[in-house]
């Protein structure tokens, strides 16, 4: 009996082993390992370089130079000017993008031009296919504007109109026209169709249906995302200065090149404070625009006071907008210069004919592969570091109830709180510093090249994914966690058997989405010496080879579209599993 039992157990073990390691899974695992080996080679990763004494000395020199921050009155004036210019650039870019994105979003809305009852009711003649084609063409244009990173747009406009915040504002306007146009088109398409059908039955035109039926329903979503877009524009305007587009990023790049690390620390602190204030103001504005925000009855005197405050607010907003456009460089003197208009026309004319010469196109293959390798290894590095830091940053694991076993000591609870907030602080620090600043730091430590770009993406991604991982594990249903905790399960057991099974799909989705973002980031790090296509873009801009530059932008667009397609496939398979 014992022999038969052992034989049956061995047979079951072999069957389960064969079921886990199928031929297909072995092939996939080997393919992944081969791809990682190729990425490792393309990135020129040298782990030994990270542990050399010279590397530690360079890192210590940077860290020591950051303290104390430079708080001299003269430099604080420079910081204030950089902050004001950054906000002005963000305001001007956001307003232009909204004004352009609204009509483009309406023209790209499928229910108006391509499908649905509104389109089906149109006259069936040659105009309808043309309208559908034009709508799809506008949607493709929005996709292209969205795919090219805003820093690349900044470099292009610096070439076209010169150094300064005007180039930054135009770059934000173009980049976020693509983002907002697509969001507006989706918001217009997802409204309740019944009021639209009722308006159509009365003989309303498309314009009347848009203004009377679609616009009132979509307005809350449009407002919320426009405010979020402004927050993103502030972040983007802060780093556009690295390519000469003004703002606080320009001051950071100058201080880094002069090795004035105390000034860099002051500028980074000002940058973090600016982002925090932007988030607070945006949340307040969104809260004030909720439907029930002003429904409380107030005495007449208070109403008159609120009217005065609202009027004053509108006047201040108008003055701020006009001042922002002026500070961003939108002046008659600037556009009246003959060289500005001539440079813009020459630049646009040169971009109209991409260079598809065989030798040039073949030379882009290694750079494209290197860009992909930077994004892949940087994302994996960020997943590893962020995953490790997310465990102590998850309150469900660390901040256990005082009644839980082994958690009744005041000292232990204080230690757990310290670990939790230390992990959160590290994640916030990694996330707050843009990857462009990280790449400058990494270049000082390991030198110019794709390895520095990989480290920069990995560090910034660790902060982003670590926060998302921790918040995802905190938001899973609490019943399985409490049930295991009641049985005396430890923290690692809670993580393995309660949190991970419930959160793994969302964690995988966040990781794939972050990789798609890192494709764009890896394409621009070369502008500062981080390898990949960004270095080729920078070189061709400096040499005035605009036809080759157009080819490079098309390649970036292709990479982003391929990564989006792969991400959609992986996400759909993960959700369907």
Specify the residue for token string 């063409």.
Answer: 137
- The 10s digit of each residue's pLDDT in 91-101 is 999 999 999 99
Residues 153 and 75: beta-carbon distance below 8 Å: no
Q: Please tell me the predicted confidence (pLDDT) of residue 223.
A: 86
pLDDT tens string, the chain, 577 residues long: the values are: 455 545 455 544 555 445 556 667 777 777 778 888 888 877 777 777 767 787 778 778 888 888 889 999 999 999 999 999 999 999 999 999 999 999 999 988 888 877 665 655 555 566 777 878 888 899 888 888 888 888 888 888 888 888 888 899 999 999 999 989 988 988 888 888 888 888 888 888 888 888 888 899 888 888 888 888 888 898 889 888 888 888 898 888 888 888 888 998 999 889 888 888 887 887 777 666 665 544 445 555 555 556 666 677 778 888 888 888 988 888 776 665 556 667 777 778 888 888 888 888 888 888 888 888 999 999 999 999 999 999 999 888 887 655 555 555 677 778 888 998 999 889 988 888 888 888 888 887 888 888 888 999 999 999 989 988 998 888 888 888 888 888 888 888 888 888 888 888 888 888 888 888 888 888 888 888 777 888 888 888 888 888 888 898 888 888 888 877 777 676 666 555 5
| Per-residue tokens: 512 | 């794939």
- Of 218, 146, 147, 135, nearest to 177 (Cα)? 146
Helices (H), 477-499: 478-486, 491-494
- Of 351, 325, 353, nearest to 166 (Cα)? 325
Could you tell me the pTM of the whole model? 0.77
- Give the separation between CA 192 and CA 214, rounded to whole angstroms: 8
Please give the distance of CA 23 from its chain centroid, rounded to a whole number: 38
Is residue 447 left, alpha or beta, with left meaning phi > 0 and alpha meaning psi from -120 to 50? left
Q: Please tell me the predicted confidence (pLDDT) of residue 339.
A: 67
Residues 371 and 519: beta-carbon distance below 8 Å: yes
Residues 374 and 450: beta-carbon distance below 8 Å: yes
Q: Please tell me the predicted confidence (pLDDT) of residue 415.
A: 86
| Per-residue tokens: 197 | 């059908």
Residue-range domains of the chain with CATH: 73-291+300-351 (1.10.3720.10), 358-576 (1.10.3720.10)
* Residue 211, φ and ψ in degrees, nearest 5: -80, -35
Q: Please tell me the predicted confidence (pLDDT) of residue 96.
A: 95
Residues 240 and 527: beta-carbon distance below 8 Å: no
- Of 232, 253, 186, 225, nearest to 93 (Cα)? 232
What's the CA angle centered on 208, arms 202 and 212, to 5 degrees? Answer: 90
Q: What is the signed CA dihedral for 491, 495, 497, 499, rounded to 10 degrees?
A: 130
- 1 C-beta neighbours (distance < 10 Å), count: 5
What's the CA angle centered on 418, arms 417 and 422, to 5 degrees? Answer: 115
Q: Please tell me the predicted confidence (pLDDT) of residue 461.
A: 93
- Give the separation between CA 330 and CA 529, rounded to whole angstroms: 31
What counts of helices (H) and strands (E) characterise the chain? 28, 0
């Amino acid at each position: 009996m014992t022999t038969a039992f052992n034989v049956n157990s061995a047979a079951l073990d072999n069957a389960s082993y064969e079921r886990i390691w199928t031929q297909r899974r072995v092939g996939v695992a080997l393919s992944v390992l081969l791809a990682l080996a190729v990425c490792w080679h393309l990135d020129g990763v040298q782990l030994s370089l990270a542990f050399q004494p010279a590397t530690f000395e360079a890192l210590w020199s940077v860290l020591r130079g950051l303290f104390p921050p430079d708080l001299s009155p003269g430099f604080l004036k420079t910081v204030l000017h950089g902050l004001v210019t950054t906000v002005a650039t963000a305001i001007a870019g956001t307003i232009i993008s909204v004004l352009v994105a609204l009509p483009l979003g309406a023209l790209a809305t499928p229910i108006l031009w391509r499908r649905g009852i509104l389109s089906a009711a149109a006259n069936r003649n040659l105009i309808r296919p043309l309208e559908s084609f034009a709508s799809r063409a506008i949607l493709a244009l929005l996709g292209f504007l969205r795919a090219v990173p805003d820093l690349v747009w900044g470099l292009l406009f610096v070439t076209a109109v010169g150094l300064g915040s005007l180039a930054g504002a135009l770059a934000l306007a173009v980049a976020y026209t693509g983002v907002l146009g697509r969001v507006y088109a989706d918001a217009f398409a997802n409204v309740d169709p019944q009021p639209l059908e009722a308006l159509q039955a009365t003989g309303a035109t498309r314009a009347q249906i848009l203004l009377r039926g679609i616009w009132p329903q979509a307005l809350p979503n449009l407002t919320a995302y426009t405010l979020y877009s402004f927050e993103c524009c502030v972040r983007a305007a802060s780093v556009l200065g690295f390519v000469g587009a003004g703002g606080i990023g320009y001051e950071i790049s100058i201080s880094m090149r002069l090795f004035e690390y105390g000034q860099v620390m002051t500028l980074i602190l000002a940058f973090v404070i600016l982002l925090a204030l932007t988030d607070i103001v945006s949340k307040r504005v969104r809260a004030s625009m909720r439907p029930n925000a002003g429904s409380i009855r107030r005495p007449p005197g208070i109403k008159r006071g609120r009217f005065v405050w609202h009027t004053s607010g509108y006047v201040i907003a108008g003055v701020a907008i006009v001042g922002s456009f002026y500070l961003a460089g939108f002046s008659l003197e600037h556009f009246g210069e003959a060289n500005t208009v001539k440079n813009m026309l020459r630049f646009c004319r040169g971009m109209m004919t991409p260079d598809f010469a065989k030798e040039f196109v073949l030379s882009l293959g290694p750079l494209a592969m290197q860009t992909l390798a930077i994004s892949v290894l940087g994302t994996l590095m960020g997943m590893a570091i962020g995953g490790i830091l997310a465990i102590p940053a998850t309150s469900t694991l660390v901040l256990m109830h005082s009644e839980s076993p082994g958690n009744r000591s005041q000292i232990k609870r204080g230690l757990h709180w310290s670990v939790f907030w230390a992990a959160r602080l590290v994640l916030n620090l990694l996330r707050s510093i843009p990857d462009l600043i990280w790449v400058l730091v990494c270049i000082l430590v390991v030198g110019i090249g794709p390895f520095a770009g990989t480290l920069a993406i990995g560090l910034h991604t660790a902060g982003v994914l670590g926060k998302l991982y921790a918040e995802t594990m905190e938001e899973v249903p609490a019943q399985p966690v409490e049930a295991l905790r009641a049985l005396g399960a430890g923290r690692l057991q809670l993580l393995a058997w309660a949190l991970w099974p419930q959160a793994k799909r969302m964690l995988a989705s966040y990781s794939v989405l972050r990789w798609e973002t890192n494709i764009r980031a890896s394409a621009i790090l070369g502008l500062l010496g981080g390898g990949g296509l960004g270095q080729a873009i920078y070189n061709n801009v400096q040499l005035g080879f605009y036809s080759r530059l157009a080819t490079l932008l098309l390649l970036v667009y292709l990479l982003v579209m391929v990564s989006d397609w792969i991400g959609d496939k992986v996400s759909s398979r993960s959700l369907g599993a």
